[in-house]
Every structure is written in C-alpha cells, then in structure tokens.
C-alpha cells in the first residue's frame, strides 16, 4: 500500500496546478474585457508539477522493489506504467481533438498528432513550446522518458540501478548545457527539470535503508520546503499565466529542492502505516488516488464551466472568486468520478491482462552448458 503521506502530497500537487489553471480560465477573459481580475500570488502554482516529479522518482523505486534484478522485471514495469498512463491520457487527447473538430479550430498536422500519442516532444501548436496536442501532456513526455530510462537499468540491484539512472539524467543535462542540441526531443529531455526525478529516487533509497528523522526535524524540513515555495525564488508566480516555463536550473533550485524537502519530511520516518487514519488524511488519500485524473481532467471541466459562466453573464452577478471555487469543486468531483468508474477499473484490467500474458508465456528453453 502506498504511503499515506505521499498520496496526500500527490493530491496537493494536483490541487496546486488546478488552482493556477482555474484562475487562468476565469481571470484571463475578465482581463480581456477590461475588468480588474488580479491573480492570487500566494504560491507558484506551477510548482505542483515539480512536486509530482519528485514524488514520481520516489514511487518508482518504492513500487519496483521486487522488480530490480528480477527476470522480466523491466517488461513488467513498462506494462504497469503504460496501463497506468495511456488510457486516461489518450482519452483526454481524443476529447481535445473532438472539441477542435466541433469548434472548427485548426488542428495540428498528423505528425504532431502522432508525436503526441507517442510521447515525443514536438511543437504541436506552433508557438515554440514543445507541448503535445493536449498541452498538459508535456509533463507526461518527461514522465515516460524517465520510465524508459528507469526500465533500462532494472536488471541491476536497486542501489546500482538508482545510481545509474541518476548518472544518466545528470549526464544528459550536462550534455544539454554543453552542446545545446538542435533536436527538439533531445533538447526537451536534457532540461534540468529531469533531475527532480533523481531527488525522489534518492529519498526512496534513504527510506528503504531505514533512515528516519525525529518528528521536529521532519516538520522543520516540511516548513523549510514550504517557505521556499512561498518565497518563489524563480519569481514565476508574479508573471501570471499564460507563461512558458523554461524548466531550467533556476526552477529546479527554486521549486524542485523545496519539493524534495517537503517529501523528505513526509517519508523519512519509521512509523508509516500504523494506527487509524484521521478523516482529513483519508480524504487526502482518496484525492491522491485520483490526482492523475484531476490533473488531466480539470482543464476540460474548467473550460466548459468558464464558457457557460461568461455566456450566462454570471461574471456580472457574482465575484470571480466564486467562479474559481466552482471550477475547483467541479473538477474534483469529475476527477473522483473518472477515477472510480474509468481509470481504476481500466488500469486494473490492463494490468491483469499483463500478468496473464506473462503467466501464459512459455519458459525459455535452457541451453545445456558445454
């Protein structure tokens, strides 16, 4: 069972991203009409992605405990990841394409569509940003690259595999700095933001080796990480959307390091799953389970709601804050429904099919030694 604190952090990460986008869907149209609609500057909402990446590195090591050095471990890992990522992302991308056809918006060329489904970074919208058709998928392009790299080294013992993946990420980032590759995918994958996966992997190794901190120190790490995000060293929160993040070293220092400190304060503890879980933590865990659905589904829900909000003239009758809160509430409800009735059963079924195929596969013939 995943750590409750990690699941809650996943919920926090998804909520941060969703809050930032809710403001964009409500405040941008208001600003275009000349209305006063200042963004909430409390936090750099995009840092939710950095928290996701650090958590992802942790979870991959934690959940792959039995796959390191195991026969077929890489194949099992890849199948699990594909079953987890593909169904919901493909569904969201297809919905976006259908909406483009209905609204008669220009659709990118077929090469960009194919690249989006294959998680190959490309400039799908012609704005210079290496985003897929469904723009939120840019984070999944990083995730899938990390999974592929992780799978390559699963034949090694755990510590060696983690070290090899971390060195590969560091080497690729160094290459990006030194060579400035012209290839769009290579330029994308060599950005420093990939080092955040290594932060999470390192914390997983520490936790697996029994490293634990006393409660005051753990809370101090969480407070220090939270203060780092509030300070917003990259100063990105003040720009307001829309913006294109360079995913550079400043982002890693300003958002990735605080995210790692927060995760460290949550996982470097002895007692991880004992005792009853209070209701707020249970609710956080439930939303953490649905965090992937919340991340992918919230723009669809918010776009529809914001369109209706302005079409009915509700912006002239209610404060903008009400629209943002409604966007969040509807997105959370939709995410829980999608997770319960689409993502969870389909992912479970696909993973079971993978186990069945592995069980039905005949064993390789043994070659007699000479």
Which residue in the block uniquely carries the two structure tokens 């993040």? 245
pLDDT at 327 (0 to 100): 97
Domain ranges of the chain: 4-22+37-297
Q: How far apart are CA 204 and CA 61, in angstroms?
A: 6
| Ranges of H-type helices in the chain | 4-32, 47-63, 73-102, 110-117, 138-152, 158-179, 184-189, 195-208, 215-231, 249-251, 257-267, 279-289, 291-311, 320-338, 344-360
Instruction: Fill in the DSSP letter of residue 316.
Output: G
Q: How far apart are CA 243 and CA 189, in angstroms?
A: 20
Q: What angle do CA 210, 200, 334 make, to 5 degrees?
A: 115
Overall size of the chain counted in residues: 370
Q: How far apart are CA 291 and CA 296, in angstroms?
A: 9
pLDDT at 128 (0 to 100): 78
Which residue in the block uniquely carries the two structure tokens 């026969």? 71
DSSP, collapsed to helix, strand or coil, labels residue 107 as coil
pLDDT at 233 (0 to 100): 73
CA dist list (Å): 361 to 348, 358, 364: 20, 5, 9
196 contacts 252 by C-beta, under 8 angstroms: yes
- Is the entire prediction scored with pTM above 0.75? yes
pLDDT digit string (tens) for 228-238? 998 887 765 44
Question: Shortest CA distance to 149 belongs to which of 137, 162, 132?
Answer: 162
Question: Shortest CA distance to 168 belongs to which of 154, 151, 149?
Answer: 149
152 CB burial (10 A radius; 0-12, 13-18, 19+): middle
Residue-wise burial string across 166-179, b where 16 or more C-beta atoms lie within 10 A, e elsewhere: bebbeebbeebeee
Tens of pLDDT along the chain (370 residues) come to 348 899 999 999 999 999 999 999 999 898 888 777 778 888 889 999 999 999 999 999 999 999 999 999 999 999 999 999 999 999 999 999 988 888 767 767 889 999 999 999 998 887 778 899 999 999 999 999 999 999 999 999 999 999 999 999 999 999 999 998 889 999 999 999 999 999 999 999 999 999 999 999 999 999 999 999 988 877 654 444 444 457 889 899 999 999 999 999 999 987 655 555 677 788 999 999 999 999 999 999 999 999 999 999 999 899 999 999 999 999 999 999 999 999 999 999 998 887 777 666 655 554 433 3
Q: How far apart are the first and last CA of the chain?
A: 46
């Amino acid at each position: 069972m995943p750590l409750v604190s990690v699941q809650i952090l996943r919920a926090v990460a998804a909520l941060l991203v969703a809050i930032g986008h809710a403001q964009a869907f409500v405040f941008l149209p208001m600003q275009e009409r000349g209305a006063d609609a200042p963004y909430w500057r409390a936090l750099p909402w995009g840092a939710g992605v950095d928290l996701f990446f650090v958590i992802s590195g942790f979870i991959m090591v934690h959940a792959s405990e039995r796959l390191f050095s195991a026969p077929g471990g890489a194949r099992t890992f890849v199948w699990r990841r594909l079953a987890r990522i593909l169904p919901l992302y493909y569904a969201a991308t297809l919905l976006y394409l259908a909406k483009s056809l209905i609204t008669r918006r220009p659709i990118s060329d077929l090469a960009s569509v194919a690249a989006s489904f294959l998680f190959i970074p490309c400039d799908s919208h012609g704005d210079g940003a290496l985003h897929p058709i469904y723009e939120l998928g840019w984070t999944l392009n990083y995730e899938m690259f990390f999974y592929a790299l992780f799978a390559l080294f699963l034949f090694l013992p755990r510590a060696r595999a983690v070290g090899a993946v971390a060195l590969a990420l560091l080497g690729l980032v160094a290459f990006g700095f030194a060579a400035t590759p012209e290839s769009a995918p290579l330029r994308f994958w060599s950005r420093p933001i990939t080092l955040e996966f290594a932060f999470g992997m390192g914390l997983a190794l520490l936790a697996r080796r029994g490293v634990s901190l006393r409660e005051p120190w753990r809370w101090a790490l969480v407070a220090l990480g939270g203060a780092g995000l509030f300070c917003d060293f990259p100063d990105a929160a003040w720009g307001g959307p829309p913006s294109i993040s360079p995913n550079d070293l400043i982002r890693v220092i300003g958002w990735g390091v605080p995210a790692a400190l927060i995760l460290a304060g949550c996982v470097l503890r002895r007692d991880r799953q004992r005792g009853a879980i209070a209701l707020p933590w249970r609710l956080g865990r439930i939303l953490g389970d649905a965090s992937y659905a919340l991340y992918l589904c919230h723009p669809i829900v918010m776009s529809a709601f914001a369109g209706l909000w302005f079409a009915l003239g509700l912006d002239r009758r209610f404060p903008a804050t009400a629209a943002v809160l409604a966007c969040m509430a509807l997105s959370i409800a939709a995410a829980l429904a999608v997770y319960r009735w689409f993502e969870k059963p389909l992912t479970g079924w696909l993973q079971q099919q993978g186990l069945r195929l592995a069980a039905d596969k005949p064993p390789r013939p043994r070659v007699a030694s000479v």
